[in-house]
Copies of this chain bind each other. A is one copy, B any other.
Amino acid sequence: MFKKMKRLLIGRPLKNEALQGEKFGVLWGLPILSSDAISSVAYAGQEILLVLFPVIGMASFKQLSYISIAIIALLIILTLSYRQTIDKYPNGGGAFIVAKENIGVIAGVIAGSALSIGYILTVAVSIAAGVDQITSAFSQLEPYRVLLCLIIITLMTIGNLRGIKESAKIFSLPTYFFIFSILLMLVVGVIKVLNGYEPEPIQVAQDTLQPLTLFLILKAFTNGCAALTGVEAVSNAVPNFKEPSTKNAKTVLVLLSTLVLIVFGGTSIIANYYPIDPDAGAMLIQIAGMVFGRTNIFFYVITALSFTILVLAANTAYFGFPNLISVMAKEGYVPRQLSMRGDRLSYSNGIMLLSSISALLIVVFNAHVTSLIGLYAIGVFISFTLSQAGMLFKWWREKDKNWVVKALINGFGAFVTFTVVIIIAITKFTQGTWIVVIVIPILIFLMLKVKKHYVAVSKQLRMKPEELQAVNVENDTYRNRVIVPIESINKSSIRALRYAKTISDNVIAFNVSIDEESANKIREKYAMLNTDIPLIIKYSPFRKVFEPLLKFIESTGYDYNRGDMITVILPQFSVKSWWHNFLHNQTILFVQRKLLKHKHIVVSIMPLQLKDDDYVLKHPKYKDR
């Protein structure tokens, strides 16, 4: 039943060969890789205003333009830096790889955890902002914000478990539409202003206004930095480009930055002429409402497109996170299960992990973008810093042609992004970035512990060729005693005894009785079997089965050090309907788990197929029992 449901939701399994998807050129690569960066226009400006507006009122819009210029300068630095990463890492240069290869394991692990946090928050922030777009246009949906977010995450999880990649081209159309619609809005907006448009004045509580401080400007800047998240996506994706892949990737990166510049810069400037109340809904939707009017079809188109592009932005994390995690899993820093592809070739465990943590964040922070955005920015900028610093080390070490200039570019990038990290950590410390300050060290500790375990395990298992050749599999000094615990004498226990006989001539039947009466009953029936297998009965005052069994095993004078083994045969019912499992007690599982803690004990599980209830009750063979 569960399996059928899974098939219906997730689809039929796919072959390994299906993994080689189509590679993309500039035309499709741009929208696929840019949705994350471009979509942030939907919340970054707004989050800047949310900091400034309550303090300096209408003066915020001018400050917004200045801060946007700073952010665009940062964007240009990042673009130059990442062009160099693309050149040096044609197989994909994620922050984890670049930092680990060039700085060291710890740096790599920090970058990996910071980037993971960034991906998780891409989902949380984009979905929350996406739902904000909708509720800004349709305010009656406001009370269902968290619920809507969770529904969207669920749908995205299902889609990605199915392997949504196949149709990525279709998904890239909305990005183009979104860009065109924003450009249209900017053009119409400017025309309206030239024709003498006067916005309605906004109510500002003048008496609460305060002077602007550096701290506030930095805090606003921090929020705006969220606009730059997603810029690194291109450098990770180089191998997915058609040849010449490096050149294509660099072209896409430059185009992407140009688009962010136009869209983000444009909205920041136009906001001066269409001032909004940042508490009254999403900025983009408010501006669109003023430019087109709230009943115009374009207003709804922009709402739909900004929602869609935010969902697509969240979806990029569904490629990025599982891939990152699987790379880290292959290297042994996170549980290996995260590197396994599911039936549909998606990294199912990684997808589930991403969805659960971001859903949790949405619930905890009540789908509130402002609370999440600091976490988002700090995660991404830590990985920027380490990635750029790694490149700096690389130039320093390899000393290619023109390395000094290139090192300066990446070095400057590292310096600037590190400064941003410090700014975010300080200005938003009380608003959640302390979480990152605590979580990253914990993640590093855990990852190193995990790595250590995998190394220790492989050291224990590995054998050198000369050791392999020295092994004698046919070791005749190796002995095996078989114990068959029986509850009563029935078909199942007889079957176990017969099987035991085929694997050893040293078999013991073992029973735990609660009282003398049931012991006698067993003894009597066992005698009828006429077998030379000895029956040992122990009395258990605590109704326990396991302890007497283990005590008995340990009392037998076997030489475990020589490698002698005890095999315990446990019968297990194999039931016809899933719910029948609830009707049979799980003692077997419990005993099995406990026995397996002893290295000299092998547990053999013997299934007994139960027949269908109706069949048994109707069949004459079983009638007189």
Q: Which residues of A contact B (CB under 8 A)?
A: 13-17, 335-337, 340-341, 343, 450, 452-465, 468-469, 471, 473-475, 478-480, 489-492, 494, 497-499, 501-504, 514, 525, 528-533, 541-543, 563, 565, 567, 569, 572-574, 580, 582-586, 592, 596-599, 601-614, 616-617, 622, 625
Contacts and interface: CB of A to CB of B under 8 A. Distances in A.
A529 B472 CA distance: 8
Given A16-B542, A604-B567, A583 B469 contact: no
Nearest to A601: B607
Contacts of A567: 503, 604
20 contacts: A15-B542, A17-B541, A336-B583, A336-B584, A455-B613, A456-B612, A460-B622, A463-B490, A471-B494, A473-B494, A473-B501, A474-B531, A478-B502, A480-B499, A480-B503, A503-B503, A574-B597, A574-B599, A596-B605, A602-B606
Contacts of A617: 452, 455-456, 459
Given A15-B542, A16-B543, A478-B502, A490 B469 contact: no
Contacts of A502: 478-480, 504, 565
Nearest to A564: B502
Contact of A514 (B16, B459, B572): B16
Nearest to A577: B453
A624 to B, nearest CB: 8
A508 to B, nearest CB: 13
Nearest to A569: B602
A480 B550 CA distance: 27
B583 A450 contact: yes
Nearest to A611: B460
Contacts of A613: 452-453, 455-456
Q: Which are the 3 A-B pairs with shortest beta-carbon distances? A: A503-B503, A461-B490, A456-B613
A13 B540 CA distance: 13
A424 B462 CA distance: 73
Contacts of A616: 456, 459-460
B609 A592 contact: no
**Identical chains bound together, number:** 2
Given A455-B617, A461-B492, 10 more contacts: A460-B491, A460-B622, A462-B490, A468-B494, A471-B494, A473-B531, A479-B502, A499-B602, A598-B607, A599-B607
Contacts of A454: 583
Task: Select the residue from A453, A454, A606, A617 with max chain B CB neighbours within 10 A.
Answer: A453
B585 A460 contact: no
A462 B237 CA distance: 65
A12 to B, nearest CB: 10
A341 B605 CA distance: 26
B497 A473 contact: yes
B498 A475 contact: yes
A463 to B, nearest CB: 6
A503 B465 CA distance: 27
Contacts of A597: 574, 607
A603 B570 CA distance: 10
B468 A489 contact: yes
B583 A335 contact: yes
Contacts of A596: 572, 574, 605, 607
Contacts of A604: 567, 602-605
A468 to B, nearest CB: 4
A353 to B, nearest CB: 12
Given A583-B450, A596-B572, A462 B340 contact: no
Contact of A529 (B15, B457, B471, B541): B471
A528 B465 contact: yes
A224 to B, nearest CB: 39
A341 B542 CA distance: 10
A243 to B, nearest CB: 25
Contacts of A492: 461
Nearest to A615: B456
Contacts of A582: 335, 337
A71 to B, nearest CB: 41
Contacts of A453: 580, 583, 613
A206 B499 CA distance: 84
A98 to B, nearest CB: 26
A475 B500 CA distance: 11
A541 B583 contact: no
A623 to B, nearest CB: 8
B471 A341 contact: no
Contacts of A336: 583-585
A608 to B, nearest CB: 7
A525 B468 contact: yes
A157 to B, nearest CB: 21
A489 B598 CA distance: 23
Contacts of A468: 489, 494, 525, 528-529
A596 B571 CA distance: 10
B473 A625 contact: no
- Identify the interface centre among A460, A597, A616: most chain B CB within 10 Å of its CB: A460
A617 B448 CA distance: 13
Interface centre among A473, A565, A601, A617, by most chain B C-beta atoms within 10 angstroms, is A473
A330 to B, nearest CB: 13
A402 B565 CA distance: 71
A464 B605 CA distance: 26
B475 A463 contact: no
Contact of A473 (B490, B504, B533): B533
Q: Which among A461, A469, A529 has the greatest number of chain B C-beta atoms within 10 A?
A: A461
Nearest to A609: B599
Contacts of A341: 543
